[in-house]
Amino acid sequence: MKGTWKLKLRLWLAMVFMFAIVYILIMLAGNLLGYGGFYGFYAIAGIGVLFLQYIFGPKIVESSMGVHQLSEAEAPQLHQMVAELAAAANIPKPKVGISNTMVPNAFAYGRSKRSGHVCVTKGILGLLDEEELKAVLGHEMSHIKHNDMAITTVVSAVPLICYYLAFSLMFSGGGDNDNGGPILGILALIAYFIGQLIVLFISRIREYYADAGSVELGCKPEKLASALYKLVYGAAKVPQSEIKDIEGTKAFFLTDISNARNEFNNLAQLDLDRDGTISADELNVLRDSKVNVGTSNKIMELLSTHPDMLKRIKRLADYS
């Protein structure tokens, strides 16, 4: 699909850069400061923590989100959509679940393509039409197809290792050159913050890529755009107390639920006929227009797991 090669290139460059950072830091700690192989322990520890997260992550998600697995008898339409999309994606059919929260959204989780789960929230039921819901499920199916759960786990190891290195080097003595430890510790701390920004960048790239994946699976760009618009509007209406209850898991969601009110104000300008949806014609108008994102929104995007919604729907317009 047009433009996806750029997403892939950015993703791989970001990952190479991240692992280059941690490799250089560990080599400096071991060779330049004379600590031998000791600081390799922090790489092992970081990878160990992420391995445990990888193994137990699905159960943690289910527990924190109150997920109930749905049988085909309970949700035949959902199961049919998921089965069709899984066949189109050439992956095993994921399990289907529902989360108790009334914040309208959907998410995917699992350790691999063979153990994938697709989950909708109670709040999304009745909000979207059939094609919009299928486009949302197509987005989540693409996360599973692209092994995004594993990729996120792997890249999250880098800032974690940098944090362990920074803490140890700044506050522990040892080695032949104690004066160099705190300096390298500060560098490791800086690398930790840079690593976190790169993890967020990769997360945003994965969202763009999953949007494109939904279209590749046969879903209409305008239906996904309209679904995103409705999800933002729905989340903006939910009491902030309910948003805060699940804010810690927002990275899993299709949209950034914490920024819903601001995003709705930005997206309302796309709904030219004010009917609460984004049609193919409205998406075509956006395709031929230039999107201007304010400075404050650009800064917020750098610190977000999700792309700026205007830019995201603009990219969907390019697929139409």
Per-residue pLDDT tens digits for 110-145 = 888 888 999 999 999 999 999 999 999 999 999 999
CA 176 remoteness from chain centre: 43
pTM: 0.84
Query: What dihedral angle (degrees, nearest 10) is formed by the CA atoms of 220, 2, 88, 76?
Result: -30
Per-residue pLDDT tens digits for 161-219 = 778 778 777 765 544 555 567 777 888 888 888 888 988 998 999 999 999 999 999 99
Of 84, 130, 140, 207, the active-site residue reads 140
CA 11 remoteness from chain centre: 13
Q: If pLDDT is split at 50, 70 and 90, which confidence band does 2 have?
A: low
Percent of the chain with pLDDT over 70: 83
| 140 in active site | yes
* Average pLDDT score over the chain: 84
Percent of the chain with pLDDT over 90: 45
Predicted pLDDT of residue 121: 96
Q: Is the pLDDT of residue 51 over 90?
A: no
Q: If pLDDT is split at 50, 70 and 90, which confidence band does 25 have?
A: low
CA 239 – CA 244 distance, rounded (Å): 9
Per-residue pLDDT tens digits for 57-75 = 788 888 888 899 999 999 9
> Which of residues 246 and 231 earns the better pLDDT score?
231
> Which of residues 45 and 213 earns the better pLDDT score?
213
Predicted pLDDT of residue 167: 77
CA 317 – CA 211 distance, rounded (Å): 11
**In the chain, where are the structural domains located?**
4-319
Predicted pLDDT of residue 178: 53
